[in-house]
A = this chain, B = another copy of it.
Amino acid sequence: MYIEKIQSPADLRVMDIATLKAVAKETREAVLNRVSKHGGHVGPNLGIVEATVALHFVFDTPKDKLVFDVSHQSYPHKVLTGRANGFLGDVNDMDAISGYSSPAESPVYDNFEVGHTSTSISLATGLQKARDIKGSDENIVVVIGDGSLSGGEAFEGLDEASELGTGIIIIVNDNEMSIAENHGGIYKNLRLLRETNGQAECNWFKSWGFEYKYLEDGNDVEKLVELFRSVKGTDKPTVLHIHTEKGHGYAPATENKEPWHFSMPFDMETGKSLVDFGSHESYEQLFSDWMLKEMKDDPTLIAVTAGTPMAAGFTQHKREQAGKQHVDVGIAEEQACAMISGMAKGGLRPVWTVYSTFIQRTYDQIAQDLCVNSNPAVINVAWGGVNSMNDITHICLFDIPMLTSIPNLLYLAPTSCEEYFAMLKWAVIQEQKPVALRIPSNGVIHTDSPVDTEYSYEPKFKVMSEGSQVAVIAAGSFFQKGENVVSLLKEKGVNATLINPRYLNAVDTELLESLKASHKVVVTLEDGCKDGGFGQRVADFYSVSDMKVLVCGIKKDLYDRYDTQKLLSDNRLQDDQIVADVLSIL
């Protein structure tokens, strides 16, 4: 086996093409070994194996700098840069190696921690400028997928790379796919370029000012080597457009590309999942079913997604059912946000579903395009909270501080399935304001309690059970934690009040004022970063009174692949810790 012996890419550079091909085969097997046992990105990595081998063969890494976009296609790169252990061993060895480019893991070969899309060219222009200023001669090489090209930052990066006018090599890895199908006008041009073997006069890359070369056989090591050699050391901004196959070399992944973009552990022979998802309800499924049903009666109801239709449960089948009432804008969250504002202005009822970690891309669009205009569009924030993605680049803990700092945005936090759909229905029908909803991230929990069907624009917290001394204000997916805390306090002889705040964007001053009469301690629970969040507003409200406020949430920090229970314990968010802290104040 070659790859076990490859200490660094330098070991590749003494090989001949036949050996490189063998290395590629082994690398593919190593990737498959990891993803089948550990889970991870399948399609993107299988498609880029040959290109990665050729890159490290031709370029003088680590002197030459590689920057991967999203970096969910960096597994073969990891195999070849001293991290094969994370791919060959058993599943316990794999945890040490992340699924993304990471200087913390490999300061020599990985230049950036990357997880969000469309950032690679912009980051690389910084390295390009640094090289030009320092007068050194390293190659700056970007690997970006066609799907990632649709993000605004990628466009801004192309614009600057061309402006700088010096050597940068941008490898556009065109597998004709984003996570799902591509959306955007540029994909018509990419198709034209593929169909003309790169010869079409109308060439999007050339019009930006790039030198351009096309390679149809993007999974052929030899041709890739030839291509890369032909531009190594270039002093011009250059695009290499390579046509690859997503999932290359693994039949299940090439036959059914969208679900094989990412997979939980699976049986390599059959491709069948090793994880029993059971028949649990999911908000993705419930939401998409509800939307499809409502769409039939209301042609103005539009489901919007930005490259991640599955965040909204819009499978390929459901997208077809929705037809023109589903819009995917590509990986272009800014576009999604401004477009829903325009849609609402034009009389439609759009609901944009976006993961908490990606809503960060639209602070200004939410503030300016949407909230200053007060257009009644709805944003569905998915997976916000501790029970979510836990890679450092995908942490979902910051949507509360972010969204609650934007004026004129309601941010509602339903605590159950019934409350979520009641809020959603109200948000869709009302015509005055943008409303964001934080979909519960602690599973689909049903309630028998009646839920309101009308919501005011001013925050109205709801008292769920009335007690005294202690009031627990438990928001959204931490509501059940609030129930537990109240129940444990009862065992200790404290009959606490339980409150569902429902609104995160502001406090219900009347209710908070009323608590002063018979409460000494208010506890706030929020499933996210507490710095700048909900509870601190409650603390501010009581700050000149005698009320004690225990603000419970996650401390602002960088977290990487955290263990949820440990994160909760470290932040004193386990039920018994909260109870102990309350009792110590009383």
Interface residues of chain A, those whose CB is within 8 Å of chain B, are 103, 111-116, 119, 122-134, 150-163, 183-189, 201-204, 206-210, 237, 299-300, 302, 324-325, 327, 329-330, 332, 334-335, 338-348, 350, 358, 360-361, 363-365, 367-369, 371-373, 392-393, 398, 401-402, 404-408, 506, 521, 529-533, 535-537, 539-540, 542-544, 548-551, 556-558, 585
Report chain B residues within 8 Å CB of A393. Answer: 368, 372
For the complex formed, measure the closest distance between the CB of A19 and the CB atoms of chain B, giving whole angstroms. 33
Which of A152, A210, A392, A393 counts the most B-chain CB atoms under 10 A from its CB?
A: A152
| B540/A544 in contact, CB under 8 A | no
Q: Please name 24 pairs of A and B residues whose Cβ atoms are closer than 8 Å in the assembled complex, sorted by A.
A: A112-B373, A113-B368, A123-B342, A125-B335, A125-B339, A126-B338, A133-B300, A133-B325, A160-B183, A160-B335, A162-B184, A185-B208, A185-B237, A186-B207, A204-B204, A367-B398, A398-B406, A401-B401, A401-B532, A405-B556, A535-B540, A539-B540, A543-B543, A544-B549
Q: How far is the CA of A152 from the CA of B150 in the complex (A)?
A: 10
- Whether the pair A189, B160 counts as a contact (CB closer than 8 A) is no
Query: How long is the Cα–Cα vector from A529 to B184 in the complex, in angstroms?
Result: 38
Q: How far is the CA of A539 from the CA of B157 in the complex (A)?
A: 41
User: Considering the chains assembled together, what is the distance between the CA atoms of A73 and B32 in angstroms?
Assistant: 56
User: Pick the contact of A338 from B111, B153, B201, B329 — CB < 8 Å?
Assistant: B153
The one of B151, B207, B360 that contacts A204, using a Cβ cutoff of 8 Å: B207
Taking a contact as CB atoms under 8 Å apart, the answer to whether A407 and B557 are in contact is yes
Please tell me if the beta carbons of A151 and B156 are within 8 angstroms of each other in the complex. Answer: yes
Cβ–Cβ contact A346 & B202, under 8 A: no
Contact B202 A122, beta carbon cutoff 8 Å = no
When the two chains form their complex, are residues B543 and A532 in contact, meaning their CB atoms are under 8 A apart? no
Chain B, residue nearest A538 (CB): B543
Structural contact, A159 and B330, CB atoms closer than 8 A: yes
A150 to B300, CA, bound (A): 33
Contact B339 A160 (CB under 8 A): yes
Instruction: Say yes or no: A124 contacts B342, CB within 8 Å.
Output: yes
Given known pairs A202-B207, A529-B405, A558-B372, the reply for A127 and B189 (CB within 8 Å) is: no
A84 vs B254: C-alpha distance in the bound complex, in angstroms? 63
Q: Is the CB of B530 within 8 A of A540?
A: yes
Chain B residues within 8 Å of A187, by CB: 163
Which residue on chain B has the smallest CB distance to residue A328?
Answer: B163
Are B207 and A184 closer than 8 Å at their CB atoms?
no
For residue A124, which residues in chain B have a CB less than 8 angstroms away from its CB? 342
Q: Which 8 A-B pairs have the closest CB atoms?
A: A126-B342, A152-B152, A162-B185, A130-B346, A122-B338, A155-B155, A159-B184, A401-B405
- Contact among B156, B206, B208, B364 with A360 in the assembled complex (CB-CB below 8 Å): B364
Interface centre among A186, A335, A402 (most CB of B within 10 A): A335
Q: A361-B363, A536-B536 are in contact. List 19 more A-B contacts (CB 8 A).
A: A123-B338, A126-B342, A126-B350, A129-B302, A129-B339, A129-B348, A130-B346, A160-B184, A160-B330, A160-B339, A162-B184, A163-B183, A189-B208, A203-B207, A204-B204, A368-B393, A404-B531, A540-B549, A544-B549
- Give A113 to B367 CA distance when docked, in angstroms: 11
CA distance A393 to B330 in the complex (A): 27
Residues of B within 8 A of A115 (CB): 368
Q: Which of B154, B334, B361 contacts A122 (CB 8 A)?
A: B334
- Whether the pair A550, B544 counts as a contact (CB closer than 8 A) is yes
Q: Which residues of B contact A361 (CB under 8 A)?
A: 363-364
Please state if B346 and A131 are interface contacts (CB–CB under 8 Å): yes
Of the residues B132, B329, B360, contact of A363 by C-beta under 8 Å: B360
> Across the interface, do B335 and A111 meet the contact criterion of CB distance under 8 Å?
no
When the two chains form the complex, which single residue of B133, B342, B521, B530 contacts A324, counting CB atoms closer than 8 Å?
Answer: B133
Report B-chain residues with C-beta under 8 Å of the C-beta of A535.
540
Docked CA distance A183–B373 (Å):
30
Query: Is there contact, CB below 8 Å, between B150 and A162?
Result: no
Instruction: From known contacts A112-B373, A153-B152, A158-B185, infer whether A342 and B125 are also in contact, taking CB-CB under 8 Å.
Output: yes
Shortest Cβ distance from residue A400 to the other chain B in the assembled complex, whole angstroms:
9
A550 nearest in chain B by CB position: B544
A105 CB to nearest chain B CB (Å): 13
Instruction: Provide the bound-state CA to CA distance between A134 and B348, in Å.
Output: 9
Contacts A152-B153, A155-B156, A186-B208 given; does A544 touch B537 at CB 8 Å: no
Contacts of A130 in B (CB 8 A): 342-343, 345-348
CA distance A360 to B365 in the complex (A): 9
A347 to B134, Cβ gap below 8 A?
yes
- Inside 8 A of A536's CB, which chain B residues have their CB? 532, 536-537, 539-540
* CB-nearest residue of chain B to A124: B342
Q: How many Å from the CB of A379 to the closest CB on chain B?
A: 14
Shortest CB-to-CB span from A542 to chain B, Å, is 7
B335 pairs with A122, CB closer than 8 A: yes
